[in-house]
Structure 1
Amino acid sequence: MRLFRADLADIANTRKLNAWLMAVAFAMLFGAGIAALTLSGMVTRNTEQVVNTHEIRSELRTVLGLMRDAEIGQRGFLLTRDAQYLEPYNEARLQIGQRISALERLVPPDSEQAVRISQLRKGAERRLAEVDQTVALGREGRFGEALAVINQDRGKALMDEIREIVDAALEAERAALTANQAEAIASRTWLSASIIGALAATIVLAILSAQLTRRQFASIEQRRSQLALLNEELEARVRDRTRELEMAREMAEAEAGRAEYERGRVELLLREVTHRVGNNLAMVSSLLRMQQAKLDDDGARSALETARGRIQTISTAQRRLRLGDDLQSTRADSLLQAVIEDLADAALESNEITISGNFDPLTVAARDATTLAVVLGELVSNAIKHAFKGRTCGTISVSFVMNDDGVPLLTVEDDGIGFDETEGKSARRSGLGSMIIENLSRQYGGEIRKWKNEAGGMSIHILLPRLQIVDGEKLSEDRG
């Protein structure tokens, strides 16, 4: 029992001693930390002062250099009478005041440097006033008077005064820089000592904590070690599994990123090529218009106008082609609407013809949309040319819809003069436009029907049973 009590007393004394030593170590650590913070603030202030001194010295040298540039520009102008020498003078003239203002902001308001900067501003203003006077005389052509002012050497005296002020200010900043550097070195020394003290206190605290833990909690430490080993093994397994999952995720993201990048790149290139083709066709159309204007033969001019109109229609289709997400399909309604708008603008140049459109929101393959645009352009162009002879106005109605049987139907109707079915068939069939319409329509099983409508004009219906109306996803599956 006595031994047990002695052990308890020894343990109690050990705890008191360790508690006292730990309190001392904590006090040392706390004091070292306070000292380190204080000295760190001093180092920061010294560093800021050194930076400020370097900025002031740099601005002083800049001001002196600008004054020299202004003087060189003045003398070059007066000696050579070449106005280009005024460029450095004008640039220096603008910057001198800004640099001196920057110096005034950098120095303390009530210091000796502030007095020197004020003297520098006055001296610079007097020197610039003389330079301005001679330059003004030179601009008025009174170069002799300007040179006489320079020969008085008043400018040299002013520049010497400015140099003396700048040298005095630089010397003061050099002395301040030396003092700041010495103070910064001392602060860094004390800071290093404080850090070393803090590290020493930390080491002492760590040693005391280790001793206390080792003496009083040996059994707990053993169990903690065993638990730590189990925990490390579990963490190692978790890390391995996490690493595997992370690698799998990165590989999946990399694959998705590459696929998305390639898709975006292909889409951008395809749209760029489509747009450039449209622009090039528009340029060809413009060149044909220029060539047409130089022709005297009406037949040749008409042929060029027809060819230019067809090229312009294809150009419009290419430039207005907006591909879907699958890069293969497009909305036919927006493309055909753009085509008739261009044709309406062209028709208004010579007469008042109204062209209206009615298009279902149908999605077709991009190449099919271009073919539809060409067919529609030929039909509307023929109506503009032939349907309103002898008239200055008229109406053309265009539609592309699904009929009651679910077959795409392209319709062009006008209220013009109509046509003679017996006389017009051979002429219409022999025309290049009619051949284009028939050949392109035949690709889709096109059935062309023409008749004289109630308004006295012509109605043309083209059934396109083999034209595939699809959405973007189905088109990708069909062509994949």
Structure 2
Amino acid sequence: MSIPVEQANLFGQIGRVRVSLRRLAVWISLALICLAAFSALTLMQGIDRQLRDVTETYAVRNAARELTQELSQAEASQRGFLLTQDREFLEPYRSAVSSIDQRVAALLEMTADDVDQAGRVRSITGDISGKMAEMARTVALVEAERPEEAQSLTATGMGARLMAEVSQTLEDFIAEEDQKLEARNRAIDQTRIGLVGALISALFAAAILAYALLSRAQRQVSDLAKRQRGLVGLNEALEAQVAERTRDIEDARAHAERERQRVETLLQDANHRIGNSLATVSSLLALQMLRVRSDEVRVALEAARLRVHAIASAHRRLRLGGDLESASADEFLQAVLDDIIATQTNQRRIAITGEIDAIQVSARDATTLGILLGELVTNALKHAFPDNRQGRITVKLARDDAGVVTLSVADDGVGLSDGQAVSEDGLGSVIVRQLSGQFGGQPVYTQSSEGGVAVSIALPKLGEPPVLQGER
């Protein structure tokens, strides 16, 4: 059942909206993660600054507390020495006085960056200096054995007031530092809460992003699985088609092979039928020879019979190659020679040998070449060995240095007398000349090195495709 177009469009819009929402969620998650990371970095830097401030506040507070203790120690030692005139109180007194100067210098250095704190410390140093001067005057009077004056100086209450003011100022300073410390601790707590919130936001955004990426990865894996199943299905379909086409090709090839074999059989059968028919004609000529009394007629019939037999042999011996259009010259011409040898009445008197190269020629040229070879060998058998003379005929077919196919037939017969030439009016010469002309060559007759006649014919057109009608 098909889905309506409107419903399909609605599904498509919903799918696009979902994709857009997923992309928006991913971008928002990335923004939240970046923002949380930046916030966490900023808060961590703030916490570092607050921790440094807290540490410095503790140091200032402790320095003020230690300064108060040193002042109390110096005052207590001074009073003890005043009341008892025991010099053992001088050592802790002088140690406290020396430490007070160092404490004041350290406190001034710690508060140098804060103008308010530095002002308060400088205001305290004046009171401390006055108190230290008062205590030093008292100790000096006691050491000079003037205790009454020292006690009179103490009785004025100035030292006590100075000590009370210094102690109160230091206590106020310490209380203020305590308030700052509490405020900074609260700020650290707030910063810590903000940092925890930023980390939670980052984790939440990372969870959303991971979910979105996981969902996308699952969809991609699902899509890949579907595509893989689709590809597997297509592959199986293609393999089935390829198998079917392969079977069709194999069937077609087998059919073509059967047709080729059938055509080859028909051609071979046709050639055999032509050869057998020509052999029948040759036999009829032989029978006619037996009834003829004239030697001239008998010679003519014998020549005709041999030529018909050569043509019949060429057709019977023709064996085409796999293309049904060509034949190998060495197999075909050697078979023709064997057939000529078999027709001789006395095969031992004249030996016929062939040196034929494996040259591929067309079926039309093969038949003509076989007839030409038969005519040359027949002429040699007829004229070269009179009076039952023994001898040899050598047939060669090869390419010369220029690549032109050359046919030569040489005998060691009686040869030509001095000044004698081959008659060009004879039927055999005419046939050889016409057949040679079909391959673009002319017969050349020379005296053989063995004493007979050698016929050499260059065949430059052998193997060329036939010229069709209308071509130039």
Which interval holds the TM-score relative to the shorter structure?
0.3 to 0.5
Q: TM-score under structure 1 normalisation?
A: 0.45
TM-score norm. by structure 2 comes to: 0.46
